[in-house]
Amino acid sequence: MIALQENQEDVPPAVQEAEGDNEELEEEGSADAPAAGGEGKKKKKKKKSKKKAKVEQTEPPRVGLSRMFPDGNYPEGELQEYKNDNAWRTTSEEMRYNERLAMEDPETTYTNIRRAAEVHRQVRNYARKHIKPGMTMIEIAETIEDGTRALVEESGLEAGVGFPTGLSLNHCAAHYSPNSGDTIVLQQGDVMKVDFGVHVKGRILDSAFTMTFDHTYDKLLEAVKAATDTGIREAGIDVRLGELGGAIQETMESYEVEVNGKVYPVKSIENLSGHSINAYQIHGGKSVQLVANDDPTKMEEGEYFAIETFGSTGRGRVIEQGEVSHYAKMVDAPHVPLRLTTAKSLLKSINKNFGTLPFCRRYLDRIGESRYLLALNHLVAQGIVQDYPPLCDQRGSMTAQFEHTILLRPTRKEVVSRGEDY
């Protein structure tokens, strides 16, 4: 990573203003006449107290967080108490002790994910204010990704974008990101899911929101946001995932949407889900379905989950449809001989730049890969790389998504991605 030079033109105004505060005042009384019987007393030079400069974020956001939080202490997310059988954890001395140990251990500390969360908050605040109809999908994606890379101070596999920016429109619920050459323009009547991630040392912060520009689908967004809030509220250590899905569904499907005089029930999309997150692995193995089910799997202390919910005015079930943009190397990828030299070269590049983090075609373009589609498809066919086509409900329907990442701490749960915006 190239260190930022403290040149005046590179330093935000808030920093420049404070840098001159240590200048000395001129000596007082230097022109006074000497006192009788001796020389005049010299008064000591006074110095202004040094003010600690507060670095403020720019628009668009480009100031790395290490300059805004030089002590490395990033804000906590929203803290929520555990419920019912877990309520005792808040006051338990043993659990408090366990939490202190977790905070001190560099391998399990929450600092990395909080840093990623603060990047997400600042970038999405800018995005929500500046994304407007008339922008292309590529412009929107690059606005988000450029901000993310700058604030997290991208450094190889140490820190960077967590996965491709999802900008799925209308009946498409997930896994659409524009490929190079995409000409789709955001329209006034669109419902757009904005799903992007940030990682620090493989700790991925996953959070999403939905944008609309008229009020037709306000109730759809309200339903999905409320369902996500329910999932967060009901989540906890030893909570069964099947029961959690039932609570999410109950909230989601208590809403309906009126469009052009016709009323549509809001449905939980039954074959999409939230998920646990592991280091450098966005889908960690546990799924939080959005409908009631018999999954007895329990959430466990120390895990973190993406609680994401999707609602639809359509059938409430998605299928794979459209051109693929999302890919990821399999965590348990087999070691198979590759016949194509280009596939070997591409795999080497994927390992170096992404590891098992998801990527998209634009990211391959960005690192200088070209004419890679045949090699990429070969890696998919060999089971080394997984492709993730867009996931769509029926045409004419509308879908929405909200998502937060939560940490199941020993004493409380922390909604690390929560901010003032949602």
Position 190 confidence tier, pLDDT thresholds 50, 70, 90: very high
Quote the pLDDT of residue 274: 98
What's the first-to-final CA gap in the chain, in angstroms? 33
pLDDT at 44: 56
Reported as a single tens digit per residue, the pLDDT across 39-65 is: 555 555 555 555 566 899 999 999 999
**Measured in whole angstroms, how far is the alpha carbon of residue 232 from the centre of its chain?**
16
Domains of the chain: 78-322+391-415 (3.90.230.10), 326-388 (1.10.10.10)
Q: Is 146 annotated as a binding residue?
A: no
- Cβ atoms 257, 219 nearer than 8 A: yes
Q: What is the average pLDDT score of the chain?
A: 89
* Percent of the chain scoring above 90 in pLDDT: 80
Q: DSSP characters for 274-339?
A: EEE-BTTBSS-S-EEESS------B--TT-EEEEEEEEESS-S--EE-S---EEEE-TT-------
Secondary structure element (H or E) that encloses residue 206, with its range: strand 203-211
* Closest of 168, 166, 263 to residue 220, by C-alpha: 263
Question: 223 φ, ψ to 5°?
Answer: -65, -45
Q: Is the confidence at residue 275, as pLDDT, over 70?
A: yes
Q: What does the pLDDT average to over 219-236?
A: 98
Mean pLDDT of 211-235: 97
* pLDDT (mean) for 1-14: 38
Residue 383: the pLDDT is: 97
Q: pLDDT class for 101, splitting at 50, 70, 90? A: confident
- Region 220-243: mean pLDDT is 98
At 422 the pLDDT is 87
Q: Mean pLDDT lowest for which of 105-109, 113-117, 335-339?
A: 105-109
Q: Does the pLDDT value for residue 321 go beyond 50?
A: yes
Q: For 240, how many CA atoms within 13 A lie in the half-sphere containing its CB?
A: 9
Q: Is the pLDDT of residue 341 over 50?
A: yes
pLDDT recorded at residue 51 = 58
Identify whether the C-beta of residue 406 lies closer than 8 Å to the C-beta of residue 307.
yes
Q: Percentage helix, strand, coil, to 5, in the chain?
A: 30, 25, 45
Residue 308 annotated as binding?
yes
- Report how far residue 128's alpha carbon sits from residue 211's, in angstroms, rounded to the nearest whole number: 8
Q: How many residues does the chain have?
A: 422
Contact status, residue 157 vs residue 142, Cβ threshold 8 Å: no
H or E element that contains 267: strand 267-268
- State yes or no: pLDDT of 126 exceeds 70: yes
Q: What is the pLDDT of residues 352-409, one digit of tens each?
A: 999 999 999 999 999 999 999 999 999 999 999 999 999 999 999 999 999 999 999 9
The answer to whether residues 321 and 392 touch, using CB atoms and an 8 Å cutoff, is yes
| CA dihedral over 61, 66, 69, 73, signed as positive or negative | positive
77 pLDDT above the threshold of 70: yes
H-type helices in 12-155, by residue range?
13-19, 65-68, 93-104, 111-130, 137-152
Which H/E stretch holds residue 385? strand 385-388
Active site residues: 195, 206, 275, 283, 308, 403
Backbone Cα Rg of the chain = 26
**What per-residue confidence (pLDDT) applies to 15?**
39
Average pLDDT over residues 125-141: 98
The dihedral sign for the CA sequence 230, 235, 273, 376: positive
Residue 53: the pLDDT is 67
**Cα–Cα nearest to 103, from 410, 406, 405, 404:** 410
60: preceding bond cis by omega (within 30 degrees): yes
Please state, in angstroms and rounded to a whole number, the distance separating the CA atoms of residues 132 and 212. Answer: 10
Choice among 14-18, 156-160, 267-271 with the minimum mean pLDDT: 14-18
Predicted confidence (pLDDT) at residue 102 exceeds the cutoff of 80: no
By the 8 A CB rule, do 276 and 285 touch?
yes
pLDDT at residue 240, rounded to an integer? 97
User: How many Cα atoms occupy the beta-carbon half-sphere of 41 within 13 Å?
Assistant: 2
Task: Over range 332-338, report the average pLDDT.
Answer: 94
